[in-house]
Structure 1
């Protein structure tokens, strides 16, 4: 199934690490480490088109012009709580990025997002915002996050997830076709409880051993 603005980062190392994460016997320590490593690999691709500034530097030989990312205009928004597991993977590559936090839980009856916390840094229109959540399932939580970011006039929004379901990707891109999505895997479908199949279970519970 093809979706505009969806990139599945099809890398052998990602496939290898994701297979270990899917295993129900993988513990939280290894799960966290693997999520961090996959996020770093996804970030490499998701930041490929960031604009750069020309900067004069002096090498041991002579002066030259290099390029640098304007990292003070990059903000990471992890969706609490599972999104925290992806935050450090991005910060490893973009350490001066700002962090915004959005706390959402999914209503078990309606499957719609319910906000319980929001704290964003100042945004400008030319900011690049990376919304991160390991599971893009129904897409409702990430759509809510996009809506909140766009209220600040930001248009450069990138979504990063470990897994995505076709239903969620379709739901998201129908409303926000300008948003770019990067994921490690486009899985088969959602089950009757809106869990990704084959998936890997609840990422938050596996990260923090809350079940």
Structure 2
């Protein structure tokens, strides 16, 4: 879409102001989130309009423990992933929020620092949020934690703004039933495992800590 490409041009510009970076990033995040929500299961539902007409629409299906999926579990990787929370809340209220903190060391994302998951997470669909998918190591470690908690791969949707081909292959090879929703696939990773052309450190730019 031209709209998406235009917003990518803006947020990738290193001269953009923090205010504009946050504004256009939020717009992109919301588009990704809305598309990701479209992959959740749903059921048909009929409502009566103010004109006394019948209108057939869709509603989020309920989980196997009678919890509506719109109250399902949202998971994100600190701290850049936190930037995607507001867009999701704006699209779908009543979400439960979980936390996973993974320390990233070069191309190795295997140091779990903190996690807070509900006891019934295995009975929910999960949205995993991280703006940039680079090597895929951090994502794989988070997904592995979910799988250990008995969340089916097919119940996990990974949402991000940009993805490196290497990261996509890394995640999908290990978890083939998982879905990835991204707004743009970049060229590659460089020797420092940074996405090229990329957008720099998203979290630092979004929260203004890049100085």
Identify the TM-score tier after normalising by the shorter chain. 0.7 to 0.9
CA separation in 1, counterparts of 2:118 and 2:19?
30
Deviation at 1:71, TM superposition (A): 3.4
For structure 1, the 5+ residue unaligned runs are: 1-10
Deviation at 1:72, TM superposition (A): 4.2
Deviation at 1:135, TM superposition (A): 0.8
Q: Equivalent residue for 1:113? A: 110
- Indicate if the aligned counterparts of 1:99 and 1:121 stay in contact, CA closer than 8 A: no
Change beyond 3 A, Cα 1:171–1:17: same
- Larger relative helix fraction: 2
- Indicate if the aligned counterparts of 2:186 and 2:197 stay in contact, CA closer than 8 A: yes
Tell me whether 1:67 sits opposite 2:68 in the alignment. no
Q: Equivalent residue for 1:79? A: 77
Deviation at 1:54, TM superposition (A): 4.3
Change beyond 3 A, Cα 1:120–1:33: farther
- Indicate if the aligned counterparts of 1:137 and 1:167 stay in contact, CA closer than 8 A: yes
Tell me whether 1:132 sits opposite 2:123 in the alignment. no
Q: What does 1:184-203 correspond to in 2, within 5 Å?
A: 184-203=183-202
Q: Equivalent residue for 1:4? A: none
CA separation in 1, counterparts of 2:55 and 2:135?
49
Deviation at 1:29, TM superposition (A): 2.4
Report SS of the residue matched to 1:26.
Answer: coil
Give the RMSD, CA atoms, in angstroms.
Answer: 1.9
Report SS of the residue matched to 1:49.
Answer: coil
CA separation in 2, counterparts of 1:132 and 1:43?
9
Report SS of the residue matched to 1:95.
Answer: coil
Change beyond 3 A, Cα 1:114–1:56: same
What are the superposed Cα offsets for residues 74-102 of structure 1, whole Å, 9 maximum, x if unpaired?
Answer: 22211000001111112211112211111
Q: What does 1:18-57 correspond to in 2, within 5 Å?
A: 18-55=8-45, 57=47
CA separation in 1, counterparts of 2:163 and 2:39?
22
What is the number of residues matched between the two proteins?
200
Deviation at 1:66, TM superposition (A): 4.3
Structure 2 length as normaliser, TM-score?
A: 0.86
Structure 1 length as normaliser, TM-score?
A: 0.86
Tell me whether 1:151 sits opposite 2:148 in the alignment. yes
Q: Equivalent residue for 1:89? A: 87
CA separation in 2, counterparts of 1:181 and 1:71?
18
